Amino acid sequence: MRGLSRSVSERVAGVREALSKFLYGMTGYEFARHALEMRHEMEAVFMVVTMGDLIGVPVLPPVYSLRLLPYLVPEVATWKRNMARRKDFWEKEEYDLHAV
Amino acid sequence: MNTLLAVIIGAVTVYLAYTLYARRIDRHVIQSDPKRATPATLYMDGVDFMPTNRNILFGYHFKSIAAAGPIIGAIVAANLWGWLPAIIWLILGVSFLGWASDYSGIVISVRNEGNSLSAIAHRLVSPRSRSILFVFIFFYLLLVAGAFVGIMATVLESQPKVQLGVIVLTVMGLLLGQMLYRWRTGLVGATLLTVGVTFIAILGGGWTEEIFKSFSAGLNGLTGGAPLVTYFDPTLANFQGADAKIMPNLLFWALAICAFCYAGSVLPIWRMAQPVVYVGFWITAVSMVLGLLGAAAASFMKPEVAQFVIPAFKGFNPHLGPAGIMPLWPMLFVTIACGAISGWHALFGAVGTARQIENEADMLPVGGGSMFAEFLLGLLALLAVSVGAKGAPVGAFATGLGGFISVWGIPIQYATSLAFAAFIVIVLVVTQLLFRVQRVTLSEWLGDVFPPVRNQHLSSLICVALAILLMMTGTWIYLWQLFGGANQLMAALSLLLVTVWLASVGKSWLYAGLPAIFMYITTLASLLVTAYNIYSNVYQTNLTAGRVIPVIGSGLMVLVALLLVAAAIVIGIDGWRAFRRYRRQPAAARRPAAARA
């Protein structure tokens, strides 16, 4: 009996969690995504400023680039993919228009 | 027939179609594998490609696809052919076509590295198919924008009670954006304030009714009560046709809507479009949830609002006077679009959602599940208009939905105001996004040939001007059917693409191929019928009367219809060739090229 009531309460908790996530998906998730996108845009600019030589834009003396390198290495792959998707360097991707 | 029975039929449809058909296709044809890596996990960048919980994604996808489509389509179709054909098409459409289109849009993208439909078409079908898809998207957005601006201007002109709510919604949307992104206010507090004030303004629309009435009278007095434009609209007077007049007041509201949409198109997304959509979402969601529950409970609690009052069936080709031929096939299948099947869903799912799928087992609940939820929204709209009073379609819908909401003890006049506002809000927030997408599509399509359209202000102004021109024809029902034809054709083309892809990987293609063939033929036929109706009933009539603006607008509509037909034929031929090529030798069976030394 205790096992049954526990399984019922677990199911109720599961449904509640699913509903709250569904509601979040319909409401706050878009704001969270947009905040991430804004941050991503700023990081892209930062990467150009610091690692510009990788794509032929020597904006920062190499000595400073090298000092920052260990902190930026994890981001390089993502940044390269993002740059490769752009049709031109200055294109600002409109994330809200993914479908187009 | 009463509303409870219809709700039960809807729930049973969802259950049976999902468990007996959709799940089988997912398991045995697509063979979704939870262990296979998805683009979200392979290319995770924390922004565009991001593994997301299935319940969050379900909410996100549903909100993104649920708009005015299922509501307006059901309203128009019930008035044209009766509620029975409309409900049958909703049930059959979602069960055999709709979920398949939405789900497959996600599947094809997930299995093709998160690429968009146009990119996959470029690779699998032909390079020119990508450009043709852009033409498609631009024109069908133009059609729906023209239809929506016309509908909203008409409702706002005739319903002074709603005007305060719309103005306050705009102000609250701007305030919400400022609070969230600049002042860093918490979401819950900001929501309570902005949504609460908007609700008060909607319910209290009667306070400013007299002010707006005298404002309208003042505007109309500018021309001494004479109309700016007179045109013949064959869909007026219960489809008997009548002369319609564009008064200064109507033009003012149309221009105000366009100014709102222009701002939504050119301002940063966080500044206006996103927060206005968010506030509007709460208004609509509360109305729809109260309405759907009210429709189910009305049989017990308030039976007088639960009985259908419009005829079940008005005939296969009801005599509609000068409104022209309106055969059940193919016109019903494009008039009700989004509640049964929609091309936009597949387009959005292919990139917006597919890049966030964490696990292949989530593709069906998110894609198919959202479409079934959208079907329930379409069903609610159909019920509302079926129990509403006879008369103008939107008015009947608002009366019906208001009746359902009033089941919960809300006075009928407030409930009806809320229903009117919910309708306007959902159309308005969608329209501003339409202009935004249309502006980007235009610059993608013509930017290389004519660089000035890359300027967001110029491209937005072009879109707004074209929409106003279409609105001036006044026949928003034809515009809606033209949009439905383009939208359903998009669905057919996305299913065609899925069919080609299934053939290319050696899988059974029937579940996508048969709906693709049906929708392709149906939508081409509907576009031709609508073009004929517009030409014979709007263009020629207004030409004879020497009315310039409606002639230009209706001529443009006919041209757009023919252009869409031509584009669809080209892409259909390319798709057929690609299909035959892959049927002879699936891409999966081809020997990989030898590695170079």
Q: Note whether B454 contacts A: Cβ–Cβ < 8 A.
A: no
In the block, which residue shows the tokens 């869903």? Answer: B345
CA–CA dist A31, B527 (Å, integer): 39
CA–CA dist B325, B532 (Å, integer): 9
Chain B CB contacts of A33 under 8 Å are: 47, 50
CA–CA dist B64, B374 (Å, integer): 11
Chain A CB contacts of B60 under 8 Å are: 25-26, 29-30
Phi-psi region of B389 (alpha: psi -120 to 50; beta: other; left: phi over 0): beta
Q: Note whether B444 contacts A: Cβ–Cβ < 8 A.
A: yes
pLDDT band at A95 (very low <50, low <70, confident <90, very high): very low
CA–CA dist B261, B165 (Å, integer): 17
CB B203 within 8 A of CB B417: yes
What pLDDT is attached to residue B589?
A: 52
CA–CA dist B508, B25 (Å, integer): 10
Best B41, B42, B43, B45 residue to mutate vs chain A (most A CBs within 10 Å): B45
Which residue from B minimizes the CA distance to A37? Answer: B47
Q: Note whether B56 contacts A: Cβ–Cβ < 8 A.
A: yes
Which of A22, A30, A93 shows the shortest C-beta gap to B274? A30
Is the pLDDT confidence value at A62 over 60? yes
CB contact (8 A) between residue A30 and residue B58: no
- Share the mean pLDDT of chain A: 77
What pLDDT is attached to residue A99?
A: 39
Structure token digits, residue B280: 């509007």
Nearest of B93, B162, B75 to residue B480 by alpha carbon = B75
In sign, the C-alpha dihedral spanning B351, B352, B358, B363 is negative
CA–CA dist B315, B327 (Å, integer): 9
Chain A CB contacts of B61 under 8 Å are: 25
Low-confidence ranges of chain B (pLDDT < 70): 319-324, 389-393, 474, 588-597
Q: Note whether B321 contacts A: Cβ–Cβ < 8 A.
A: no
CB contact (8 A) between residue A25 and residue B352: no
Residues 6+ apart with CB under 8 A from B321: B234, B239, B240, B241
CB contact (8 A) between residue A99 and residue B351: yes
CB contact (8 A) between residue A40 and residue B47: yes
Cα–Cα distance list, B126 to B133, B194, B349, B497, B571 (Å): 11, 49, 22, 11, 8
Nearest of B194, B6, B11 to residue B84 by alpha carbon = B6
DSSP 8-state code for residue B244: E
Phi-psi region of B184 (alpha: psi -120 to 50; beta: other; left: phi over 0): left
CA–CA dist B467, B458 (Å, integer): 14
Which residue from A minimizes the CA distance to B43? Answer: A78
What pLDDT is attached to residue A100?
A: 38
CB contact (8 A) between residue A25 and residue B57: yes
CA–CA dist B571, B9 (Å, integer): 38
CB B225 within 8 A of CB B248: no
**pLDDT tens by residue, B558-578:** 998 999 999 899 989 999 999
What pLDDT is attached to residue B392?
A: 67
CB contact (8 A) between residue A31 and residue B278: yes
What pLDDT is attached to residue B433?
A: 75
My answer on whether omega of the bond before B330 falls inside 30° of 0, hence cis, is yes
- Which residues share a beta bridge with B244? B231
pTM of the model: 0.85
Distance of residue B308 Cα from the nearest chain A Cα, in angstroms: 32
Parse chain B into domains and list their residue ranges: 73-82+144-334+373-585
CB contact (8 A) between residue A21 and residue B56: yes
Q: Note whether B48 contacts A: Cβ–Cβ < 8 A.
A: yes
Span of A73-82, A84-93, B147-156, B347-356 with lowest mean pLDDT = A84-93
Distance of CA B383 to the CA centre of its chain: 19
CB B360 within 8 A of CB B32: yes
Distance of residue A25 Cα from the nearest chain B Cα, in angstroms: 4
What pLDDT is attached to residue B371?
A: 95
Nearest of B218, B158, B194, B143 to residue B489 by alpha carbon = B143
- Concatenating the DSSP letter of every residue in B254-272 gives HHHHHHHHHHHHHS-TTTT
Structure token digits, residue B530: 């609508």
Q: b/e per residue, B424-460, with b = 16+ CB within 10 A?
A: bbbbbbbbbbbbbbbbbbbbbbbbeeeeebeebeebb
